[in-house]
Chains A and B, each alone.
Chain A
Amino acid sequence: MSTSEKTAAGVGPVEGGAVYTVDNPAPFIEAPRQRTRKTPKSTRGNFELAAWLFMRLSGVVLVVLVLGHLLIQLVLDGGVSKIGFAFVAGRWASPFWQVWDLLMLWLAMLHGANGLRTVINDYAERANTRLWLKGLLYTATVFTILLGTLVIFTFDPNIR
């Protein structure tokens, strides 16, 4: 299909029909992000949509987990003054609180990391700055999640 005489100024040669036809006498306007022969077959997928949805789903769960955590650690039974090794040992003796803390650790770290990723993308204008800040963020996030998970799974109440 030749694009010579039927292409109006500013309308690129995209796949599809001619610019004007009998059925379409008005100037043809390309759809945004129209696929051309140069468009890669696979696009980058829906990572940002998944991240957006994750923030909302994890947020709802974290409201329950974190506010429950605050209530137990800072309000009930003497508040922060009762916390010590013995208190931790008592709670992590139960798989329920182990799962609670593990879930809270993973969701909060991923929720926070994605939030900071957004903040970095918004304010770090140079590509190199973004790269380094996000590299630091991901390193710290992976380290913290692995450390916390290890501590919960290997906790030993009779450490000495």
Chain B
Amino acid sequence: MPAGTLYRGREGMWSWVAHRVTGVLIFFFLFVHVLDTALVRVSPEAYDTVVATYKTPIVALLEYGLVAAILFHALNGLRVIAVDFWIKGARYQKQMLWTVVALWVVLMLGAIYPVLGHAARELFGS
């Protein structure tokens, strides 16, 4: 099998897989999120009780995962648009993927303190 000529199993395929998986995960969260927000029509207490679970350390970790999924899906989505509409898009799809991954890593490092800080304070005291 000549190297580098197959789409299967290379950057193009794996970014496509990751795009699908993150997309489905985000969609399922969106259902739950609209339902929990709808509780503002029930009572302030009902809403605040449910939102309190979003502030627990375990759910904070899930929020970090959600941010990870959304950031990848957003950045890779822009790459897909570039592949489709930019005349050199297909030629530079690999370079663009590694740019996406690098940006994602930087943003995820930056999100550690804002997203997980309050959970750390709760677990280890302020």
A residues lining the B interface (CB < 8 Å) = 56, 59-60, 62-63, 66-67, 70, 74-76, 78-81, 83-86, 88-89, 105, 108-109, 112-113, 115-116, 119, 140, 144, 147-148, 150-151, 154-156, 159-160
In the assembled complex, which residues on chain A have CB atoms less than 8 Å from the CB atom of B23? 112, 115, 119
| Given A115-B24, A148-B34, 6 further pairs, Cβ under 8 A | A66-B70, A80-B115, A81-B55, A84-B44, A84-B48, A154-B41
B residues lining the A interface (CB < 8 Å) = 20, 23-24, 26-27, 30-31, 34-35, 37-38, 40-41, 43-44, 47-48, 51, 54-55, 60, 63, 67, 70-71, 74, 77-78, 80-81, 84-85, 111, 114-115, 117-118
Q: How far is the CB of A112 from chain B (nearest CB, A)?
A: 4
State A81–B41 Cα separation when bound (angstroms).
21
In the complex, which residue of chain A has the Cβ closest to the Cβ of B78? A63
State A160–B67 Cα separation when bound (angstroms).
34
Dominant secondary structure at the A interface: helix
A-B contact pairs, 6 of them (CB 8 A): A56-B80, A67-B74, A86-B44, A109-B30, A151-B34, A159-B44
Query: Once the chains bind, are B48 and A85 in contact (CB under 8 Å)?
Result: yes
Asked, given contacts A67-B74, A79-B118, A155-B40, whether A85 binds B47 with beta carbons under 8 Å apart, the answer is yes
Q: How far is the CB of A104 from chain B (nearest CB, A)?
A: 10
Asked, given contacts A63-B77, A105-B34, A140-B31, whether A155 binds B44 with beta carbons under 8 Å apart, the answer is no
